[in-house]
Amino acid sequence: MIEFSGKMYNMNGIYKVFIDGELVAEQKNKLTLLGRSNALKTMLGLVPSFAGSMGIGISSKSNGSSGTYLDMSDLDFSVGRYPITAASLGQNDDEDVLVYTARITDTSRYSITELGLYSNKLSSNFEADNRIIFNFESGDPLKLSDNTYVASTAVGATSSDVIPNFVSDLSNYRIGSSCLRLTEQDSVTFNDSVLDMGYVAPYDSFVLAGYFANNVTVNVTFASASGSAVYGFDPTPNNETFAAGYKVLSLEKNQGSGYAAVDWSRITSITIQHTANATTRLDGLRVKKYKTVDSVEGLVSRALLNTAIEKPFGSVIDIQYLLEMQMVM
């Protein structure tokens, strides 16, 4: 155990991102409530390490006002978690720091807007149950009303093209090589197999990400033989003034109309419906597990990037997190 006398007055953290060995971004972080606790416990020798894994995400949700700790337990829309491969002592601007390093081994393309550090490694059920249902990539087995599969269309598609479709437009999506374009009152359905979604608890959330050009609700319906649950994803959930842009929308499982009648262990179809004549581009639908902010497993630090990091296909990303803890003796 490390013994000390004095008062900690500041904890600073910074992320450094390297693509194929080249430094492309530095961003200050904000610690969570768990992060502050873990930093102190690490100094006292009460926990073996401040962090066990690192994550990347695609949400632009603010970290809130300065001078407070985050009450988040996960990134707003996580697309991947990776183990800490090295932990060491180092220096940054002549200050001693703890350095944690992770390598992003996923070769997919992402437009990364948030970075996170987690206290736990990747072996927990909490991480396993946080999963993407659809990333709306070309080839996802989604069907039109005539039971044919959704096709891909090049950028600049005309009105004569079959819509909905998968379209490539880097300005409107952040995951992979395409997004799902919906216009008018379109709907698409997945029903190729039966899904076991019994792992989704009532207070877990379904999270939808995409580019909303208009104030149009997207309905997602989960159906089983016993009933169906409808989730209306409203781009202005708190009745704020609508502004076009990329949005991450979240609804708890228990907010779905009819959710209690569904046999979640045998989901026979998932239908996504656009409710008005406009254009929306959907990028991802995922499950986000609920976790209390004071848990021993969860987010210890989050950074919202000032400028998104474009991770090309096939590239290797290394991320360093530097934690500086200053003390007055």
Provide the token pair at 223: 């159906």
Is position 160 within any domain?
yes
Residues 253 and 181 in one domain: yes
Residues 198 and 244 in one domain: yes
Residues 306 and 319 in one domain: yes
Q: Output the pLDDT for position 314.
A: 86
Is position 151 within any domain?
yes
Q: Residue 67 — pLDDT band, cuts 50, 70, 90?
A: low
> Could you give the CA distance from residue 146 to residue 302 in angstroms, rounded to a whole number?
44
Q: Is the pLDDT of residue 162 over 80?
A: no
Is position 249 within any domain?
yes
| More confidently predicted of 154 and 74 | 74
Is position 2 within any domain?
no
Distance of CA 192 to the CA centre of its chain: 26
Residues 259 and 147 in one domain: yes
Q: Is the pLDDT of residue 326 over 70?
A: no
Q: Is the pLDDT of residue 273 over 90?
A: yes
Domain enclosing residue 136, as ranges:
132-288
Q: The CATH number of the domain where 191 resides is what?
A: 2.60.120.430
Residues 148 and 55 in one domain: no
Contact 279, 18 (CB under 8 A): no
Residues 12 and 108 in one domain: yes
Q: What is the mean pLDDT of residues 38-43?
A: 78
Is position 1 within any domain?
no
Residues 159 and 277 in one domain: yes
Residues 146 and 281 in one domain: yes
Q: Output the pLDDT for position 324.
A: 82
Is position 265 within any domain?
yes
- DSSP-assigned letters across all residues of 241-308: PP--EEEEEEEEGGGSBTGGGS-TTSB-EEEEEE-SSSEEEEEEEEEE----TT-SSSEEEEEEEEEE
Residues 231 and 178 in one domain: yes
Span 230-262, pLDDT tens digits = 999 999 988 889 999 999 999 999 999 999 999
Q: Output the pLDDT for position 171.
A: 76
Q: Output the pLDDT for position 1.
A: 32
Provide the token pair at 175: 């995951």
Q: Residue 112 — pLDDT band, cuts 50, 70, 90?
A: very high
Q: Output the pLDDT for position 4.
A: 41
Structural domain total, the chain: 2
| More confidently predicted of 97 and 100 | 100
| More confidently predicted of 199 and 3 | 199
Is position 37 within any domain?
yes
Q: Output the pLDDT for position 284.
A: 95
Residues 41 and 115 in one domain: yes
Is the whole model's pTM more than 0.85, yes or no? Answer: yes
Contact 300, 247 (CB under 8 A): no
Q: Output the pLDDT for position 9.
A: 47
Q: Is the pLDDT of residue 2 over 50?
A: no
Residues 117 and 163 in one domain: no
Residues 299 and 263 in one domain: no
